[in-house]
């Protein structure tokens, strides 16, 4: 930025303070637009000194003085700068400095940050801003009226001056500017008749003061009333919105958050809302035009154009909005029905009782309705792949139609659906990626070729073949006017030829055939059905209309697209929604143990999984970066089918011969080292580790076990006894006498961090062994995760495990490698994590990732261990190794090999680590990045390696707000663990890295 030397020095400013205010103070120059500004520090407090050499602005300063004096005591919970009287009692004095005559004013200083310097601008903060500005607007309405300021270019009412500079722009920017200038002209003279009052007129991001808190800051007040003027009241809100939504991904939604709170304090009039969209656009036009002029006058001064690029970006976003949709959204935010005709339409439609057979006259044998549930929680449609399998879906529809031959198979109004696979309409909302998921019409599933008839007299608005994957195919939209109400009906998924018989403007009679239902090849690749929808407006659409909306805009779309069941009055046609989250929390608190925890400050209600994603009841997708249990992806079709097929035939125990158990055991053995020959199948990782410990006790006759600090091996008694992560933390009983802990082998922040720390850490094992020997026995086993998960994704140093293995095995004990979290190719370069260190364990344990979440655990061991364990006491597990689990486990192995997920894990892990290290260069808070493949950890510390636990917790919950599920672990809960389903790809990685970059730049993350 250009350095500007003030025409009145800091020393001269300090002398003025002493002379006229009696203050011994220090002044710091602050850059300003017109006045000379100085921050003042004195024993009496902080102030803002404003010096003006423009005597022509005398009247403006006097008006500002009246406003500030008038606002005293009117807004108790907002800070407004007051004027400190000079020694002579005047609020403004005129004096000489050299040859200059200047005016001097001293304002109280409002402590806090400017809106421009706050990150993030959350929904809550925007709501606070709207509320505070509404209070200010209401208070200023009560002040005495003043004359308007003529030729004032910042008065929106006078913004037509910008037309003198229109031709200074070109291309798209010229189009945007001309559009809003034209809309402003169109709104005259109604705009001139809107109510007027005194307004601040410049609630921009440098005039809004926010408190210092990094989490949940508060809007404290407003400064700089120098542009205050008498103008249309709605201009205040338009200007506020302009700056409140600048830089947001979805400005309309952000604007509505502001309006909702503003309206509560300063109610808006209906005719004002009609102008709001265009006024925001004109404020932006004014801003970019002024910036352009100033650049011509002083091209080196960046301060003058500091908001130019964000303003251009918002101008483009605002231009691309539908003005009509914006108006409806504003109405909804003000507590009105989004569409003005909603009540009138409902009153008219409620008097109708239309038989569905009027739509389908050849279906006279059908009278009632069967609701088809396609919500995310529905089990009927199956997975996304099954839904998109047309033959399978049609088969299911056919079976329903056969079962309910006298009923219409229908449903869907405002039904959330997870099944729209096209990403063409996905958008980056203010809270992460958002997909269209809420169905706006009703579907009737009938055979292709079924005739479709018009329900009302009307004219053809659209008749087209909307070709494309998951589009409408044959589409007809009719325009109607009934009882003075204009509305439209949409008939989608017709045959490609159906629309050809009509031209736009043609008259269609009630009951006239419009066409027939199309085959999948011509109806958008759907199973044959009619999508029927009602719209009270076509917005800006001419060839089609959305059949699915965004959940965040649900109230607006619900008003714009009324429920078609108003016409049919069928109780069975009403969508049944899943239970609310609050209800589930209440039921859970009554029925389940309190020790069962929920993740995140605001718990999630999850009803479906799909690859790397989890979904809530409204089909919002959450990218899962922590669920290693869903090893090959949530609900992988091949795994699901393997389990379903076997479950439909037989599920029993291993007392019977069955090839599935042997097939899986043989397949798994091929992925294990040659010395591991025997397989035991159980239900979970906990059971696997429990059995492994029992084998070790049998092997050695000892119960003495070496384990790692912060290790975790399951939730049964024996494994909790060796899980420091449990027994050393809240509610734990402490270390049992037979458990001997080794310090957490952390080469980054542990007790040893030098180059030879592996050898130093391993010496503790020798000490523990000597202690065991002094008690006259030897070790039973050493149990370990090869990369410690709950310990903070710790990768132990070189020469650590190898030396401990040698000590334990020489002392007669067994080494147990717990691969519950790290196995099956997750570490990328090796199928098992113990292979990273060249280890040869005696026992390897595995858990639920083996079955992709299905209850399946495995103990694999040497033949010698197995033979000694077979000492006469039978080992039996009722469901361990049942055919369903075995088929499921084999399917998981098949997917890993077929889709090359091990090498994929290596590539994605390298890609993630490279991205994280790039972020680390800019944000050293990411103190350590470690792990292998898709088993990574990011430790958050300050420059002294002190753990940043609050920042980590903040990061986890903020990522969740943006639809990315992360989790923390480690002794200080300051390590972000990354262990997603193995299908996690580059797109997912970029989304994760992008949001991480955004959030670690926020204010709280910098409070270290």
- pLDDT top residue among 653 and 424: 653
Alpha-carbon Rg of the chain, whole angstroms? Answer: 35
Query: For residue 373, what pLDDT band results from cuts at 50, 70 and 90?
Result: very high
Tens-place pLDDT, residues 586-608: 888 888 877 777 888 888 999 99
901-1006, what's its fold?
Answer: 3.90.1150
Residue 45 pLDDT more than 80?
A: yes
Residue 95: beta bridge partners? Answer: 102
- What is the pLDDT, as a whole number, of residue 587? 84
Distance CA 204, CA 211 (A): 16
Once rounded to an integer, what is the mean pLDDT over residues 655-674? Answer: 94
DSSP per residue, 963-988:
TEE-EEETTTT-EEEE---TT--HHH
Query: For residue 56, what pLDDT band results from cuts at 50, 70 and 90?
Result: low
Residue 53 pLDDT more than 80?
A: no
Tens-place pLDDT, residues 147-165: 778 889 999 999 999 999 9
Residue 790 pLDDT more than 50?
A: yes
- What is the pLDDT, as a whole number, of residue 988? 96
Query: For residue 72, what pLDDT band results from cuts at 50, 70 and 90?
Result: confident
Q: Which residues 6+ apart lie within 8 Å of 885 measured at CB?
A: 681, 683, 851, 854, 855, 856, 879
Residue position matching structure tokens 């993630």:
912
Distance CA 906, CA 733 (A): 39
Residue ranges per domain, the chain? 10-109, 114-336, 346-573, 656-711+755-897, 901-1006
- What is the pLDDT, as a whole number, of residue 803? 97
Query: For residue 1, what pLDDT band results from cuts at 50, 70 and 90?
Result: very low
* Geometric angle at alpha carbon 790, from 787 and 791, rounded to 5°: 65
Tens-place pLDDT, residues 750-761: 999 999 999 999
862 to 15, 337, 654, 788: CA distances (angstroms): 89, 72, 21, 24
CATH architecture of 114-336: Alpha-Beta Complex (3.90)
- What is the pLDDT, as a whole number, of residue 945? 96
Alpha carbons within 13 angstroms on the beta-carbon side of residue 749 total 24
Residue 902 pLDDT more than 70?
A: yes
Tens-place pLDDT, residues 944-990: 999 999 999 999 999 999 999 999 999 999 999 999 999 999 999 99
Least-confidence region, from 109-113, 115-119, 730-734: 730-734
Residue 391 pLDDT more than 70?
A: yes
Least-confidence region, from 96-100, 500-504, 767-771: 96-100
Residue 791 pLDDT more than 90?
A: yes
pLDDT averaged over every residue in the chain:
93
Residue 235 pLDDT more than 70?
A: yes
Once rounded to an integer, what is the mean pLDDT over residues 281-288? Answer: 97
Once rounded to an integer, what is the mean pLDDT over residues 475-487? Answer: 96
Distance CA 637, CA 392 (A): 14
Tens-place pLDDT, residues 837-870: 999 999 999 999 999 999 999 999 999 999 999 9
Query: For residue 422, what pLDDT band results from cuts at 50, 70 and 90?
Result: low
Query: For residue 1008, what pLDDT band results from cuts at 50, 70 and 90?
Result: low
**Cβ–Cβ under 8 Å, residues 475 and 518:** no
Query: For residue 3, what pLDDT band results from cuts at 50, 70 and 90?
Result: very low
Residue 229: beta bridge partners? Answer: 199
Phi then psi dihedrals of residue 51, to 5 deg: -115, 130
Once rounded to an integer, what is the mean pLDDT over residues 622-637? Answer: 96
Distance CA 581, CA 567 (A): 32
Tens-place pLDDT, residues 903-930: 999 999 999 999 999 999 999 999 999 9
Closest among 561, 492, 850, 924 to 688, alpha carbons compared: 850
Query: For residue 5, what pLDDT band results from cuts at 50, 70 and 90?
Result: very low
CATH class of 10-109: alpha beta
Tens-place pLDDT, residues 543-577: 999 999 999 999 999 999 999 999 999 988 998 88
Query: For residue 146, what pLDDT band results from cuts at 50, 70 and 90?
Result: confident
Burial 716-742 (b: 16+ CB within 10 A, else e): bebbbbbbbbbbeeeeeeebeeebbbb
Residue 4 pLDDT more than 70?
A: no
656-711+755-897, what's its fold?
Answer: 3.40.640
Once rounded to an integer, what is the mean pLDDT over residues 232-238? Answer: 98
Query: For residue 878, what pLDDT band results from cuts at 50, 70 and 90?
Result: confident
CATH number of the 346-573 domain: 2.70.70.10
Query: For residue 101, what pLDDT band results from cuts at 50, 70 and 90?
Result: confident
Alpha-carbon torsion, ordered 151, 156, 161, 167, to 10 deg:
150
Query: For residue 2, what pLDDT band results from cuts at 50, 70 and 90?
Result: very low
Residue 302 pLDDT more than 70?
A: no
Residue 385 pLDDT more than 90?
A: no
């Amino acid at each position: 930025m250009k350095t500007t030397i003030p025409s009145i020095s800091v020393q001269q400013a300090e002398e003025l303070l002493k002379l006229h205010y009696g203050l011994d103070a220090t002044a710091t120059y602050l850059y300003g637009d017109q006045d000379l500004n100085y921050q003042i520090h004195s024993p009496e407090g902080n102030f803002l000194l404003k010096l003006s050499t423009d005597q022509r602005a005398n009247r403006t300063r006097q008006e500002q003085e009246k406003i500030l004096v008038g606002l005293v005591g009117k807004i108790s919970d907002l800070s407004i700068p007051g004027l400190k009287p000079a020694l002579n009692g005047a609020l403004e004095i005129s004096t000489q400095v050299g040859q200059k005559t200047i005016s001097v004013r001293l304002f109280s200083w409002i402590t806090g940050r400017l809106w421009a310097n706050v990150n993030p601008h959350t929904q809550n903060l925007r709501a606070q801003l709207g509320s505070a500005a509404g209070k200010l607007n209401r208070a200023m309405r009560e002040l005495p009226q003043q004359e308007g300021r003529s030729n004032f270019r910042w008065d929106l009412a006078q913004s037509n001056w910008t037309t003198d500079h229109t031709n200074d722009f070109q291309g798209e920017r010229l189009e945007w500017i001309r559009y809003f200038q034209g809309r402003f002209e169109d709104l005259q003279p109604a705009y001139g008749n809107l109510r007027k009052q005194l307004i601040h007129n410049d609630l921009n991001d440098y005039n809004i003061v926010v408190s210092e808190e990094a989490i949940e800051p508060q809007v404290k007040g407003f400064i700089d009333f120098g542009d205050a003027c008498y103008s249309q009241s709605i201009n205040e809100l338009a200007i506020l919105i302009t700056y409140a939504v600048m830089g947001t991904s979805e400005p309309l939604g952000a604007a509505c958050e502001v309006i909702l709170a503003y309206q509560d304090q300063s109610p808006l009039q209906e005719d004002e809302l009609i102008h709001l969209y265009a006024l925001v656009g004109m404020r932006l036009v004014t801003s970019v035009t002024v910036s352009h002029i100033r650049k011509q006058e002083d091209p080196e001064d960046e301060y003058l154009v500091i908001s130019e690029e964000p303003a251009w970006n918002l101008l483009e976003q605002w231009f691309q909005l539908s003005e009509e949709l914006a108006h409806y959204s504003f109405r909804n935010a003000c507590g009105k029905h989004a569409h003005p005709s909603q009540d009138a339409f409902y009153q008219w439609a409620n008097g109708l009782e239309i038989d569905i057979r009027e739509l389908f006259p050849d279906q006279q044998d059908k009278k009632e309705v069967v609701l088809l549930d396609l919500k995310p929680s529905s089990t009927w449609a199956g997975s996304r792949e099954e839904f998109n399998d047309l033959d399978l879906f049609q088969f299911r529809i056919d079976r329903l139609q056969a079962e309910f031959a006298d009923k219409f198979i229908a449903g869907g109004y405002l039904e959330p659906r997870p099944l729209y696979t096209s990403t063409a309409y996905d958008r980056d909302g203010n809270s992460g990626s958002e997909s269209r998921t809420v169905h706006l019409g009703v579907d009737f599933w009938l055979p292709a070729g079924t005739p479709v008839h018009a329900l009302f007299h009307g004219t053809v608005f659209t008749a087209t073949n909307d070709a494309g994957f998951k589009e409408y195919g044959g589409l007809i939209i009719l325009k109607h006017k009934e009882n003075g109400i204009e509305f439209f009906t949409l008939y989608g998924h017709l045959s490609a030829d159906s629309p050809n018989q009509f031209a736009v403007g043609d008259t269609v009679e009630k009951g006239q055939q419009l066409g027939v239902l199309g085959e999948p090849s011509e109806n958008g690749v759907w199973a044959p059905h009619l999508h029927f929808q009602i719209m009270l407006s076509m917005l800006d659409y001419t060839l089609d209309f959305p059949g699915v909306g965004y959940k965040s805009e649900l109230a607006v779309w619900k008003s714009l697209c009324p429920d078609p069941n108003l016409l049919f009055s069928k109780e069975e046609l009403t969508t049944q929604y899943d239970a609310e989250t609050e209800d589930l929390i209440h039921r859970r608190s009554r029925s389940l143990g309190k020790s069962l925890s929920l993740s995140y400050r605001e718990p999630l209600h999850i009803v479906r999984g799909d690859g790397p994603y989890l979904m809530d009841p409204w089909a919002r997708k959450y990218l899962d970066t922590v669920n290693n249990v869903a090893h090959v992806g949530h609900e992988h079709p091949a795994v699901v089918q393997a389990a379903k097929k076997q479950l439909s035939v037989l599920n029993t125990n291993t007392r019977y011969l069955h090839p599935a158990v042997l097939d899986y055991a043989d397949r798994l053995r091929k992925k294990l080292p040659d010395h591991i020959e025997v397989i035991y199948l159980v239900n979970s990782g906990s059971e696997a580790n429990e059995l492994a410990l029992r084998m070790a006790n049998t092997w050695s006759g000892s119960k003495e076990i070496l384990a790692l600090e912060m290790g975790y091996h399951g939730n049964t008694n024996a494994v909790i006894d060796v899980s420091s992560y449990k027994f050393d933390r809240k509610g734990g009983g402490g270390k049992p006498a037979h458990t001997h802990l080794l310090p957490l082998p952390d080469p980054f922040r542990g007790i040893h961090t030098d180059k030879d720390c592996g050898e130093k850490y391993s010496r503790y094992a020798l000490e523990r062994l000597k202690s065991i020997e002094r008690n006259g026995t030897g070790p039973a086993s050493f149990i370990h995760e090869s990369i410690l998960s709950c310990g903070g994704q710790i990768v132990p140093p070189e020469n650590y495990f190898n030396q401990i293995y040698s000590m334990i095995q020489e002392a007669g004990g067994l080494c147990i490698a717990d691969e519950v979290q790290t196995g099956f190719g997750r570490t990328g370069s090796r199928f098992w994590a113990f292979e990273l260190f060249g280890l040869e364990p005696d026992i390897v344990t595995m858990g639920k990732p083996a079955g992709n979440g299905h209850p399946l655990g495995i103990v694999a061991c040497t033949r010698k261990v197995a033979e000694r364990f077979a000492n006469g006491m039978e080992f039996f597990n009722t469901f361990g190794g049942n055919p369903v689990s075995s088929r499921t486990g084999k399917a998981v192995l098949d997917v890993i090999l077929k889709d090359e997920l091990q090498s994929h894990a290596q590539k994605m892990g390298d890609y993630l680590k490279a991205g994280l290290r790039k972020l680390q260069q800019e944000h050293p808070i990411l103190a350590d990045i470690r792990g292998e493949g898709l088993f990574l950890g990011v430790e958050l510390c300050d420059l002294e390696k002190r753990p940043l636990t609050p920042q980590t917790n903040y990061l986890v919950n903020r990522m969740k707000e943006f639809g990315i599920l992360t989790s923390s672990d480690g002794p200080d809960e300051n390590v972000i663990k990354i262990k997603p389903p193995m299908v996690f790809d580059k797109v997912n990685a970029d989304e994760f890295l992008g949001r991480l970059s955004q959030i670690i730049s926020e204010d709280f993350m910098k409070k270290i």
